[in-house]
Amino acid sequence: MLLADFGTSYCKLLDTDSKKEASLIPTREFDRSIRVDIATGHNGKRYAIRYVNELTALARGGLRLIPDQSFTLLDCGSRDIKYVIYEDGKIKDMGWNAECGASMGFTIELLEKYYDIDFSSLPIPKTSFSITCGVLGMSHIFDAVVTGESEAEAVAKFVKGIAVNAYNFAKRPEKLYLSGGLCDNPLFVGSFPCNIVPLGRFVLLAGLKESLEIRNRN
């Protein structure tokens, strides 16, 4: 079975019949002729026989990967942010934000390339900008640079602002499991005011595997 998470910036594919690990492909390079068995993600309905809602995939992926019975799992994608909260093994709350979370992951990647910044070398700033939208929030960077702040410092405050906004959206837990490509960004991960456990890019694929097993059991 071929499973896929069709994200806005990257596609993640997994062949359950192969011993190979999941592959990561930039969406712009994805072969549009491919059809998969089960998919989730922004463009999943276009290329799949069966589609699973992203929140469902996230929730099932969390159950599969996280040993705790009570936890908060936040997915920060290129296009939006979403979370699920479990209590005693059952879903307590969930949310999906494509407006205040608009293009946060995409904007961070864009800034990294534009300013040629290595996020692993940037210290976590003491303060942050108030960010409620990745695109509109870039104006804070330009304003700060005009007043004499370095580009690196301004971008670091922007990234921390995005992390704080995501943390608030996820109801401010003491411990937060993180899903998505931003797990690989040390500045972003370190900017959360709580204990962070990064799970990587393939949590939704794990949720699709769980969905497949549930279907086979039934």
Percent of the chain with pLDDT over 70: 97
Structure tokens at 150: 């370095």
Band of residue 215 on the pLDDT scale cut at 50, 70, 90? confident
Q: What is the pLDDT of residue 98?
A: 61
pLDDT of residue 33 exceeding 60, the answer is yes
Burial (Cβ within 10 Å: 0-12, 13-18, ≥19) of residue 15: middle
Helix, strand and coil content of the chain, in percent to the nearest 5, comes to 40, 25, 35
Residues 76-124 have pLDDT tens digits of: 988 889 999 999 999 999 999 866 555 678 889 889 999 999 999 999 9
Pair 210, 60: CB distance under 8 Å: yes
pLDDT exceeds 90 at position 73: yes
* Confidence (pLDDT) at 97: 83
Task: For the beta carbon of residue 170, count every other beta carbon within 10 angstroms.
Answer: 26
By the 10 Å C-beta count (0-12 exposed, 13-18 middle, 19+ buried), 75 is classed as buried
Q: Do residues 128 and 192 touch, judged by C-beta distance below 8 A?
A: no
Question: What does DSSP assign to residue 134?
Answer: T
Q: For Cα atoms 76, 195, 174, give the angle at the middle one, nearest 5 degrees.
A: 95
CB 94 within 8 A of CB 59: yes
Calculate the alpha carbon distances from 156 to 26, 138, 146 in Å.
Answer: 25, 12, 16
Provide mean pLDDT across the span 34-38: 94
